């Protein structure tokens, strides 16, 4: 397969990053790199998806890794995952041996955020990615194992139309699901059996996932290409209270309670990589915001916020006063953009000598988050499930929404293109069921399943 055929195949299949924000994969892979790193570390606690894929689809993953690495002309191919994933490592090693592939497995300690791609790049290569930069800046490309499974499928003519995800938390049992994209999240939760009626959800992991508390929003939410986990929690859980705390109350708390201990800075994963980010400095200046008119002074006071990666270590683990440096950083990112202020990037950061000693043990983090009762629950089965109706969003990736290619009344089959990538950064959207299009809007297509996928 030629280079362009490879990229065109990946683009045609609508592949986006399966383990992150949904960056279109054909754009990421249209490059050359010294390192090709496959992320199987399952960054956040409680998520089961990457582990399941490594156990069940190791041969397919390794096949895609070999072909993608050849396209990238990568000299070093590494699969990085936590060393405690013994069954997953064994499955991958068997597949590597079977394929006679030159692939190394990097076993990482159990810490958060091991699956952050910049943290992983430093662990594997010893190189720190520049501030607000990409792994490619230091000669690396990083892709998730789920993305690799999608690449394997694409090379065999199968587009991205379904998704593997885990459901955990306040459910009768933690499960894996294999469902068409567009499946209602409520239907997924019903398969696991919610143990409480009045629940809220976090889509993704407990640290960086999207918190949804409005029942109407929960009812509308569906599985997308980037959905890897649904965490079901009671409304009064600590994580939900923290997520819904308004910025003005945070401002008053910061003024009165920040003791400038530096723990938010000293344990910050980006600070430890050598980036200029000092949450304690931003917190110290928050009370001054409305007195600063000069943009240069505003940059000095709050510019570090631009280097925040939103991992949540500062507010969920580090701060002894229970404050919210991550939310404060997010607030000032917006304010800096509103003022048209940017911060020069350090393109050659040097990791701290304290990097290894200041990693956050996942078990301790889980205890802080009030999630210990769910931590040792693992998915031992995968349920195949197709609902009667699915709603497929036209925006499931970073960039522009896809352009609809179907109208109400059209018959569709599993694998059909229903929305084409827009000009620029976008991705194709495919149908995961055989059925009939009931409605099409600017947001997506409602499709009634007639069985089969």
Mean pLDDT of 298-303: 98
* Residue 439 confidence (pLDDT): 97
The residues, ordered by sequence, that sit 6+ positions from 14 with a Cβ below 8 Å of its Cβ are: 159, 160, 225, 421, 427, 428, 429, 430
Would the pLDDT of 2 be above 70?
Answer: no
Identify the band that residue 118 occupies on the pLDDT scale cut at 50, 70 and 90.
Answer: very high
Identify the band that residue 119 occupies on the pLDDT scale cut at 50, 70 and 90.
Answer: very high
Give pLDDT tens digits for 204-237: 999 999 999 999 999 999 999 999 999 999 999 9
Identify the band that residue 367 occupies on the pLDDT scale cut at 50, 70 and 90.
Answer: very high
Query: For residue 409, which phi and psi values (nearest 5 degrees)?
Result: 100, -15
Tokens representing 241 are: 């209270």
Would the pLDDT of 167 be above 80?
Answer: yes
Identify the three-state secondary structure at position 157.
Answer: coil
* Residue 43 confidence (pLDDT): 86
* Residue 451 confidence (pLDDT): 72
Would the pLDDT of 453 be above 70?
Answer: no
Would the pLDDT of 106 be above 80?
Answer: yes
Mean pLDDT of 82-93: 97
Give pLDDT tens digits for 71-84: 999 999 999 999 99
Would the pLDDT of 4 be above 80?
Answer: no
* Residue 21 confidence (pLDDT): 79
- Residue pair 302/254 in contact by the 8 Å Cβ criterion: no
Q: How far is CA 206 from CA 24, 146, 173, 279, 299, in A?
A: 25, 20, 18, 21, 31
* Residue 330 confidence (pLDDT): 97
Give pLDDT tens digits for 8-27: 999 999 999 987 778 999 99
Identify the band that residue 450 occupies on the pLDDT scale cut at 50, 70 and 90.
Answer: confident
- Residue pair 331/286 in contact by the 8 Å Cβ criterion: no
Identify the band that residue 292 occupies on the pLDDT scale cut at 50, 70 and 90.
Answer: very high
* Residue 100 confidence (pLDDT): 98
* Residue 135 confidence (pLDDT): 97
Identify the band that residue 328 occupies on the pLDDT scale cut at 50, 70 and 90.
Answer: very high
Identify the three-state secondary structure at position 203.
Answer: strand
Give pLDDT tens digits for 23-72: 999 999 999 999 999 999 988 999 999 999 999 999 999 999 999 999 99
Would the pLDDT of 452 be above 70?
Answer: no
Would the pLDDT of 1 be above 90?
Answer: no
Whether this model's pTM surpasses 0.85: yes
3-state secondary structure the chain: CCHHHHHHHHHHCCCECCCCCCCEHHHHCCCCCCEEEEECCCCCCCCCHHHHHHHHCHHHHHHHHHHHHHHHCCCEEEEEEECCCHHHHHHHHHHHHHHCCCCEEEEECCEECCCCHHHHHHHHHCCCCCCCCCHHHHCEEEEEHHHHHHHHHHHCCCCCCEEEEEEEECECCCEEEEEECCCEHHHHHHHHCECCCCEEEEECCCCCCEEECCHHHHHHCECCCCCCEEEEEECCCHHHHHHCCCHHHHHHHHHHHCCCCCHHHHCCHHHHCCCCCCHHHHHHHHHHHHHCCCHHHHHHHHHHHHHCCCCCHHHHHHCCCCCCHHHHHHHHHHHHHHCCCCCCCCCCCCCCCCCHHHCEEHHHHHHHCCCHHHHCCCCCCEEECCCCEEEEECCCCCCCCCEECCCCCCEECCCCEEEECCCCCCCCEECCCCEEEEEECCCEEEEEECCCC
Identify the band that residue 380 occupies on the pLDDT scale cut at 50, 70 and 90.
Answer: confident
Tokens representing 11 are: 């683009």
Give the range among 14-28, 87-101, 350-364, 398-412 with minimum mean pLDDT.
14-28
């Amino acid at each position: 397969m030629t280079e362009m055929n490879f990229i065109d195949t990946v683009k045609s299949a609508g592949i986006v990053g399966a383990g992150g924000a949904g960056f279109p994969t054909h754009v990421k892979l249209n490059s050359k790199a010294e390192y090709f790193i496959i992320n199987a570390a399952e960054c956040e606690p409680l998520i089961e998806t990457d582990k399941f894929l490594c156990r069940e689809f190791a041969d397919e993953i390794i096949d895609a890794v070999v072909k993608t690495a050849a396209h990238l002309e990568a000299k070093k191919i590494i699969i990085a995952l936590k060393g405690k994933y013994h069954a997953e490592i064994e499955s991958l090693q068997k597949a590597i041996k079977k394929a006679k592939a030159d692939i190394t497995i990097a076993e990482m300690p159990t810490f958060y955020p091991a699956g952050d791609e910049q943290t992983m790049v430093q662990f594997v290569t010893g190189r720190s990615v520049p501030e607000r930069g990409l792994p490619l800046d230091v000669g690396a490309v990083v892709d998730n194992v789920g993305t690799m499974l999608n690449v394997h499928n694409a090379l065999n003519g199968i587009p991205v139309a379904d998704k593997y995800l885990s459901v955990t938390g306040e459910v009768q049992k933690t499960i894996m699901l294999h469902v068409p994209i567009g499946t209602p999240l409520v239907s997924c939760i019903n398969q696991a059996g919610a143990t409480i009626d009045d629940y809220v959800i976090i889509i993704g992991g407990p640290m960086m996932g999207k918190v949804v508390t409005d029942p109407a929003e929960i009812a509308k939410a569906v599985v997308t290409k980037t959905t890897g986990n649904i965490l079901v929690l009671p409304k009064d859980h600590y994580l939900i209270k923290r997520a819904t705390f308004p910025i003005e109350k945070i401002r008053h708390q910061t003024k009165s309670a920040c003791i400038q201990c530096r723990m938010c800075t000293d344990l910050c994963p980006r600070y430890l990589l050598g980036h200029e980010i000092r949450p304690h400095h931003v917190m110290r200046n928050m009370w001054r915001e409305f007195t600063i008119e000069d943009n240069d002074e505003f940059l000095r006071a709050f510019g570090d916020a631009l280097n925040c990666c939103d991992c949540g270590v500062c507010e969920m683990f580090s701060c002894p006063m229970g404050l919210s440096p991550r939310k404060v950083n997010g607030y000032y990112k917006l304010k800096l953009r509103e003022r048209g202020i940017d911060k020069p990037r350090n393109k050659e950061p040097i990791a701290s000598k304290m990097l290894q000693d200041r990693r956050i043990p996942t078990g301790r983090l889980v205890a802080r988050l009030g999630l210990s009762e769910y931590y040792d629950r693992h998915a031992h089965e995968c349920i195949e499930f197709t609902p009667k109706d699915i709603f497929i969003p036209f925006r499931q990736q970073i960039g522009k929404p896809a352009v609809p290619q179907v109208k109400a009344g059209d018959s569709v089959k599993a694998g059909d293109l229903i929305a084409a990538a827009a000009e620029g950064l976008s991705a194709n959207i495919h149908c995961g069921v055989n059925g009939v299009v009931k409605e099409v809007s600017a947001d997506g297509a409602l499709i009634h399943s007639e069985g089969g996928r």
